[in-house]
Every structure is written in structure tokens, then in C-alpha cells.
Amino acid sequence: MIDAENLTKKFGNLTAVEDLTFHVDEGEIFGFLGPNGAGKTTTVRMLCCLISKTSGTAKIADYEIGNDADSMKIRKIIGLVPDNVGLYDGLSAYDNLDFYGKLYDCTETQRKENIEKFLKMLGLWDKRDVSAGTFSKGMKQKLAIARALIHEPEILFLDEPTVNLDPESAKTVRDFILELKKEKKTIFLNTHNLDEAQRICDKIGILNTKLMAIGTPKELEGSIGGRKTVIQLDQVNDTILNALKKLSLGNITSDNNKLTIDLENPEKENWAIVNAIVGAGGHIQTVTVLGSTLEDAYLKLVRETK
Amino acid sequence: MRLRKSWIIAAKDLKVIIRKRTVLYTVVMLPLIISILFPVVIELSGQKSGGIPAAYLPVLLSAFAFFYVIIPAIIPTPIASYSIVGEKVEKSLEPLLATPITDGEILLGKSIAAFIPSIAATYAGAAIFMVLMDSLTYSKLGYLYYPNWGMGIILLLLAPLAATLSIEMNVIASSRVSDVRTASQLGALMFIPFVGIYVAGEIGIITLDTNTLLIIAAIMAALVLVLFYISTATFRREEILTKWK
């Protein structure tokens, strides 16, 4: 659905985005993670045909960005929620959506149905005649999402949709994104909320001008290694340590009868460890696997580029 | 270019403008004041010596009429300068530019939204002006001075062209600057050439008769085309999105 190859954007001497190559499948939620200034918004703007690319190619549903004729077709099949929601404060929620529905050539019936559908889904139907300027941040964000969906786009670009929202509003937005996934919408989500990305994204790209890594949340977590098994025993003795050494494991440390063992694949290796300890007369109280998190992967990758 | 798309933008802008009372008052007040002020001047001038001589009245009335070219060059400024910069201030330009609409359609829509209230206010003011002037001067002239060909050319040709030129200047200014006040100040410069024409007419360099008005209209029409080209050429969405802070 979205294909980018060596996509690059330069502003004068400044390279905002360099050599991005990625693919987003239809119906997938693709999370774009990166620190401020990493080029997330620039990428979305290029993909939405708002700004030009410097080099490389990108296709949205087989339409090529940078091609004038295709740009108009791309804009018809995408919806954008920018980082600044940009509503018309002087217009009511209904009028804001109706205006965009008209721009997207929706029929009157289509507009009425979709406005009602999305405002009801996002809990704003009762506020339809209220000026958007009086809305809270969360309500504005929801209205901006409804606006981006008014023409039922195939692809939705969301630039930091939950930033500055209270936890309840953020959850509503996240749940709504998951609802959209059920409708087979392709969603491109810019965020620096790691927890959010981990919870709702099928695939994640970590960006810091260049694409540092791409994969499923699990793949990224596993990509930096560093997983550990922590075993609490009644008592650690030399017999147990010698038994473990025979297994050719990673680094083993012992502290307060707690063994911490570095492992590549704890799920495969833990049974042998447990057998060895029990065989050496040890009494196990607990076994815990500590994996590297998406946060670990993210921080490692971002720090590496500094 | 699809006029329907431009009209959607214009209708939305008109809705927003109607709710912005300060902008609306600015548009309405100037023609209203001038339309009442000039008849008052005619009524009060030389009252002790029997009023303005009948022979001089047509000269004065045709000079006053030219103000209905100057007015539509001034009053679109608050609306037109708000057009692009206002979208930027409300940060609504990015989602708008992401819709399937061309730059020309956006600019035309913004221009229509500034044109309609400006020209409506000018015409309303001119109607008040003509009725008051006729009622005040009929007894001296023995005929109704307005409407006449000169006023017809002013209202049907020059006023719409002046409003269009002013709007285009404002749109160009709005596309190049990032705050409403600067855009207004730059856009407001458009009325200066018209004041120059008025002064030239008053000091006798040109005569503001029907032929001169038609020549001015032709020059303005050519300028409208040139400025429309410039306004679409200077509207660079990428620059607006990436450089405006």
C-alpha cells in the first residue's frame, strides 16, 4: 500500500530524511518512531504530497508521489491528521466535517451519514453544533480524526495523534485506531510514545533521519539481544554454579542467592538451566525472564546515531 | 480549475468572516461613513452664502463618485489578508492542502470570499450616497445627477476591478508574510494608486470623464490578469508549510 525506496528530503544543506526504504501492507498499522526532529513529519508530508521529495521514490497504492497527476489521486485516497489539528475554531464540529466532505466530493447523503457515524463513534455527536474553538484538546483531536475519515480514505496518516491528551482520551483514540484496523484501513502512525506503538502497531520503523530499524515490535525487542533469566534460590552454592557452567551459557552473576544469566533465547534454554540447578540440589523459588523492551531497542538505536 | 471547489472554500470563509464581527464591521463602516459624510459636506458647505453653486456641483459629484473606486480597493484588505495568513494562524492550512484541491482553486475561493462582502458593501454605500446626493442636489440642478454613465462605469467596471486588484495584492502579501498585520499593511498599499488618480483628476492632470474611466478600467483589467498569475506563482505550499513558524 505504501512503498518507499531511498526516499530523501533535503532543505538546503540540511538533510531531514535520508534514504528511507520501507513497505507498509494494506490493513497494517505502521508506527514511525523517532525523537523530535527525526524527520517523521517531513516523511508524512512527502507521502501526503504536501512537500516535494529531493530524491528516491515512494508509491501510495501504486500512485507515485512527486507526479502531479498522481498527487491529486493520492490526496483522494488518504486522510491526514497533522500534529497541529488545524480546525476552524469559528465553525461547529458538524460544519468543519461538512466542509471537508464537500472538498472530497462526498455526496450530501454520504456526508450526513459519515459525519453522524464518526461523531458518534468518537463521542462527539452531542457537540455537533458547538464551535470547535470551545473544544478541549482531546475533543479537537477526535474531531480532526473524524475529519480525516470523512471521505473514507484507504490510508490514514496520523501525526502524533495522542500527544498532549489525557490518558482517557488517548485510550479512546487508540481504541478507535484499532477499530479502523478492523475495517482494513492502512494506518501510518507517527509517534514517540513507545508504549502506544508497541500496543497497536503491526510493524514499527525507528527513524532518526535514517531508518535505523524496521520490524514487528517483537522483532525489534529481540534485535538488540540482552535478555536475561533471573532465578531466585534458597541458597546458591558452588555445586549449582559448576553445573550451570557446564551448560555453556552467557554471563552468570550471583547476588543474594539470585542468579542472573544472560541468554539469547531463554524460552529454549531455561528448561536445561532449571534441570541443572535441581540436579545439583538447588531449591528454586522463582524463575523470571527479563527481555529487552522496545524502549531498550529504541534508545540503543537512537543513541548509536548521536 | 473547478469553480465548484473554489466556491466551497469561499462559502466556508464567508461563514467564518460573518462570525468575525471586527472584520465585518471594518468592511461595512468605511463605505457607510463616506456615503453619509459626502452628502453632509454638500449640505453644509457654503450654507451662509446659499450653498455650493449649481455649476460647480457636477464637478464635485463626479469627484466624489471616484471614491467608489477607492473604497473597494481598501475594504477587502482585512478579509483577504486574513485569508492565507489566517489559515496559517489557525494551523488549518496543512489539512486543507492535503485535500484534492489545487492552489488556484484555493486562491480563487479566498478571493471570492473577500470580493463578495467588499463589493456588496460598496454597492450598498453607493446606493445610499446616490439617493442622499440626488435628494440634496435636485432642487439646484433640476435633474437627478445619479445614476449616470460615469457612476455606471465606476460601479460596474472599476469598483469590481479595484476590489479584485486589492484582493490579489493581499493574497500575494499573505503568501509571503507570516502574520496578519504585516499582510494587511502590505495589502493596503493597493489603494495608493487610486488616490493618485483621484488627486490627478482634482488638480487637472487628467479628466475623470467616461473615456478616461474606460481607459483606467482596461489597464486595471490587464493588471488583474498579471496579478492573478503572480498570486498563483508566489503561493508555494512547501514554503508555507515548512518555513512559517
Per-residue pLDDT at A226 exceeds 70: no
Say whether A50 and B94 touch across the interface (CB within 8 A).
yes
Say whether A48 and B98 touch across the interface (CB within 8 A).
yes
Listed as own residue / partner, the contacts of A255-262 with beta carbons closer than 8 Å and 24 or more positions apart are A257/A232, A257/A233, A258/A230, A258/A231, A258/A232, A258/A233, A259/A230, A259/A231, A259/A233, A260/A228, A260/A229, A260/A230, A261/A228, A261/A229, A261/A230, A261/A231, A262/A226, A262/A227, A262/A228
Q: What distance in Å separates the CA atoms of residue B96 and residue B237, rounded to the nearest whole number?
A: 11
Per-residue pLDDT at B245 exceeds 60: no
pLDDT of residue B3: 87
Give how many domains chain B has, as a whole number. 1
pLDDT of residue B189: 77
CATH number for the domain whose boundaries are A227-290: 3.30.70.100
Chain A / chain B CB contacts < 8 angstroms = 77
DSSP letters spanning A101-154: HHHTT--HHHHHHHHHHHHHHTT-GGGTTSBGGGS-HHHHHHHHHHHHHTT--S
What is this model's ipTM? 0.82
Binned at pLDDT 50, 70 and 90, residue B233 comes out as confident
Instruction: Select from A88, A94, A111 the residue whose CB has the most chain B CBs within 10 Å, as the one to mutate to test that interface.
Output: A88
Extract the C-alpha cell encoding A2.
505504501
Contacts of B8 in chain A (CB under 8 A): 99, 102-103
Say whether A99 and B5 touch across the interface (CB within 8 A).
no
Per-residue pLDDT at A87 exceeds 70: yes
First vs last C-alpha separation in chain B:
30
Binned at pLDDT 50, 70 and 90, residue A224 comes out as low
Binned at pLDDT 50, 70 and 90, residue B48 comes out as low
Do residues A61 and A67 touch, judged by C-beta distance below 8 A?
no
Average pLDDT on A117-122 reads 92
Q: Which of A261-265, B48-52, B131-135, B200-204 has the highest mean pLDDT?
A: B131-135
Say whether B90 and A100 touch across the interface (CB within 8 A).
no
* 3-state secondary structure (DSSP) of residue A161: coil
Per-residue pLDDT at B51 exceeds 80: no
What confidence tens digit (pLDDT) does each residue in A140-156 have? 999 999 999 999 999 99
Per-residue pLDDT at B180 exceeds 70: no
pLDDT of residue B55: 83
Say whether B91 and A103 touch across the interface (CB within 8 A).
no
A249, A304, A297, A305: which is closest to A277 by C-alpha? Answer: A249
pLDDT of residue B205: 86
Say whether B95 and A72 touch across the interface (CB within 8 A).
no
CB crowding B58-73: b at 16 or more within 10 Å, else e: eebbbebbbbbbbbbb
Contacts of A86 in chain B (CB under 8 A): 90-96
Per-residue pLDDT at B244 exceeds 60: no
Q: What distance in Å separates the CA atoms of residue B110 and residue B105, rounded to the nearest whole number?
A: 9
Q: Are strands A55-60 and A63-64 parallel, antiparallel or unpaired?
A: antiparallel
Q: Are strands A2-11 and A55-60 parallel, antiparallel or unpaired?
A: antiparallel
**Alpha-carbon distance values, A152 to A185, A238, B101 (Å):** 9, 66, 17
Contacts of A82 in chain B (CB under 8 A): 91, 94-95, 98
Say whether B237 and A51 touch across the interface (CB within 8 A).
yes
More confident residue, A102 or B237: A102
* Closest residue to B242, CB basis, from A51, A85, A89: A51
What confidence tens digit (pLDDT) does each residue in A50-73 have? 999 999 999 999 899 988 889 999
pLDDT of residue A113: 96
What confidence tens digit (pLDDT) does each residue in A232-257 have? 999 999 999 999 988 888 788 888 89
- What percent of chain A stands above pLDDT 70? 97
pLDDT of residue A127: 95
Residue-averaged pLDDT of chain A: 90
Residue-averaged pLDDT of chain B: 86
Chain B residues with CB-CB distance to A under 8 A?
5, 8-9, 12, 15-16, 19-20, 90-102, 237-238, 241-242
Cross-sheet strand order for the sheet of A252-255: A252-255, A258-263, A227-233, A284-290
Chain A residues with CB-CB distance to B under 8 A?
11, 45, 48-52, 72-73, 75-76, 78, 80-82, 84-91, 95, 99-100, 102-105, 144, 147-148
Instruction: Select from B90, B105, B240 the residue whose CB has the most chain A CBs within 10 Å, as the one to mutate to test that interface.
Output: B90
Q: Are strands A2-11 and A14-24 parallel, antiparallel or unpaired?
A: antiparallel
Average pLDDT on B10-18 reads 89
Q: What distance in Å separates the CA atoms of residue A241 and residue A258, rounded to the nearest whole number?
A: 12
Q: Find the domain containing B51 and state its range.
A: 3-243
Contacts of A18 by beta carbon, 8 Å cutoff, 6+ apart: A8, A39, A209, A210
pLDDT of residue B178: 67
Extract the C-alpha cell encoding A219.
522483532
Per-residue pLDDT at A200 exceeds 70: yes
Q: What distance in Å separates the CA atoms of residue B183 and residue B177, rounded to the nearest whole number?
A: 6
First vs last C-alpha separation in chain A:
32
Extract the C-alpha cell encoding B223.
493588471
Q: Are strands A155-159 and A78-81 parallel, antiparallel or unpaired?
A: parallel
Contacts of B184 by beta carbon, 8 Å cutoff, 6+ apart: B77, B78, B81, B170
pLDDT of residue A78: 95
* 3-state secondary structure (DSSP) of residue A81: strand
More confident residue, A261 or B80: A261
A84, A24, A91: which is closest to A58 by C-alpha? Answer: A24
DSSP letter assigned to residue A92: B
* 3-state secondary structure (DSSP) of residue A36: coil
HSE toward the beta carbon, residue B37, CA cutoff 13 A: 9
Superfamily of domain A2-221 in the CATH hierarchy: P-loop containing nucleotide triphosphate hydrolases (3.40.50.300)
Average pLDDT on B40-60 reads 80
pLDDT of residue A133: 92
Contacts of A188 by beta carbon, 8 Å cutoff, 6+ apart: A2, A24, A30, A32, A44, A47, A155, A156, A157, A158
| The CA-based dihedral angle spanning residues A32, A38, A41, A44, taken in that order and rounded to the nearest 10 degrees | -50
Question: For residue B93, what is the nearest residue in chain A, using CA coordinates?
Answer: A86
Average pLDDT on B195-212 reads 86
Per-residue pLDDT at B88 exceeds 80: no
Nearest CA to CA, how far is B5 from chain A (Å)? 6
